[in-house]
Structure 1
């Protein structure tokens, strides 16, 4: 296997901090801010034109609420989700300067990446399917990387408490591995009118994203 560096999700490459990649190995670097950082595609392309990109996306409305939930857990004094969402609540104008909203405009960010990387170098992973069918999505990841399908459905179990799958460890090891306490938090109750307005806002961007990727993620 050719030495390849892989970018997971979405910041700036720090090649000097990466481990040496030997023949038959894959080096992976994962930073969520890559996908939305304007300078990232050019810098990564300059580092390696053979880089493969894995982008995990989920319903942008759910993603925005999740982002807010995490912020709220660290700073209980932040304004309400509704106040942060709208520039003008009376007109329903969405505030796209708020990062929780801006990140979910996937089509806009993807346009930046497609200036440097073809779609064949990018795998889009559904965040929803990672929950409903983790083995299936991981199968796609392994195929994309040219790896043998080692991770299958026998490696996952659904954790009812957290509400998402956890990874089973090899026999004889300790407890199964689940994501930490920062994941799986209960979302605050958001007024349905706010949710509907956000769905309306994202709809054209979602449709464009489906067209660009050739994949309908089913975000209603």
Structure 2
């Protein structure tokens, strides 16, 4: 009987110990599970925050843009045949399409902003321009800019910067700051028509980069002069008649070559300055007349000249009979059909046919010289 009592007590203690051990095991498992779950959640949050910081750093303005020499005092002439004077802004960048992973939006100044970059190494930055539209005023430079910037590999400053003619003393760093953000493989472009006629500009552009490509839109100089006058007259109600300004003493016998609209049309004089620094192979001449009548053809030539794939084609244009000017089905800034500004396609005032004929006679030798320099006959009357 005593033995049975001891045995029962032993069984009772053993059951209790087993229960306690089981409770302890369950408690330990629960604590271990909770700890691991918290640890995993913490690691996951850290990874998400790290990815977010990386993404934000990609889309922010680069802090350390490469600086360049802003000095503008070196004005010694250097012939175009010397290729050794290379700029600090290297332009030998391969041309490739913008990856689909890049999201782009337009800012208030017309330059693109990169909202999302999923591929490493595609951080946007500002560069000095590879290509300049240097003129000629009232020949179609704005149309050329708007048409070529339809290409995804072209990014252009939204407005005329006038660096080489008005702000050169500010230096190249200031100039770069006015350029749009680009990624590797894209071309940076700027347009200021007065560059073509400003004496100091060819040398200054050469000092920036000897490999700069130059786009020059030209137009019948008589028609260009009338267009130039029309724009000026639209801003000044009491402006004299065209014939009074284009000729000396009101007589058609002597052309006033000091008057801006007439002076600019002597293209050969300005081109000779550019050819002192740049070979003809770095200049492309675009017909302003053909840019209006067949924009796809001229833009195709521009794309070839810049080493770009022909992306901008006839499907991007339609002709507006009212304005007498090509318009766009869509552009970099707008996805709906639209034309250029109201200042494009203005109706010219009536000009005395005798005055027009006298101006054509005046320009004829200069036009022939221009044809010889370019190797292109633009067939201006």
- SS state at 1:53 partner: strand
Equivalent-residue separation in structure 2 for 1:178 and 1:9 (angstroms):
23
Q: Does 1:150 align with 2:308?
A: no
Q: Does 1:213 align with 2:374?
A: yes
Equivalent-residue separation in structure 2 for 1:125 and 1:9 (angstroms):
12
Unaligned runs of 5+ in 1: none
Moved over 4 A (4+): none
Q: Which has the higher contact order (CA 8 A, sep 6+)?
A: 1
Query: In the alignment, what sits opposite 1:128?
Result: 289
Query: In the alignment, what sits opposite 1:73?
Result: 234
Could you tell me how far 1:91 is from its partner in structure 2? 5.8
Equivalent of 1:17, from 175, 183, 189?
A: 175
Summarize deviations over 1:138-195 as a string: whole Å, max 9, x none.
000000000000011111100011101111117xx64313110111111000000000
Aligned counterparts, 1:127-206, within 5 A? 127-169=288-330, 174-206=335-367
Equivalent-residue separation in structure 1 for 2:200 and 2:182 (angstroms):
24
Query: In the alignment, what sits opposite 1:8?
Result: 133
Query: In the alignment, what sits opposite 1:102?
Result: 263
Summarize deviations over 1:83-119 as a string: whole Å, max 9, x none.
1000133361111111100111000000010010010
Equivalent-residue separation in structure 2 for 1:90 and 1:99 (angstroms):
18
Structure number with larger C-alpha Rg:
2
Change in 2 beyond 3 A, CA 1:157/1:91: closer
RMSD of aligned residue pairs (Cα, Å): 1.6
Equivalent-residue separation in structure 1 for 2:278 and 2:284 (angstroms):
11
Query: In the alignment, what sits opposite 2:209?
Result: 48
Equivalent-residue separation in structure 2 for 1:82 and 1:58 (angstroms):
20
Query: In the alignment, what sits opposite 1:39?
Result: 200
Could you tell me how far 1:9 is from its partner in structure 2? 2.7
Equivalent-residue separation in structure 2 for 1:216 and 1:17 (angstroms):
36
Query: Normalising to structure 2: TM-score of the pair?
Result: 0.55
Change in 2 beyond 3 A, CA 1:22/1:49: farther
Could you tell me how far 1:57 is from its partner in structure 2? 0.5
Query: Normalising to structure 1: TM-score of the pair?
Result: 0.94
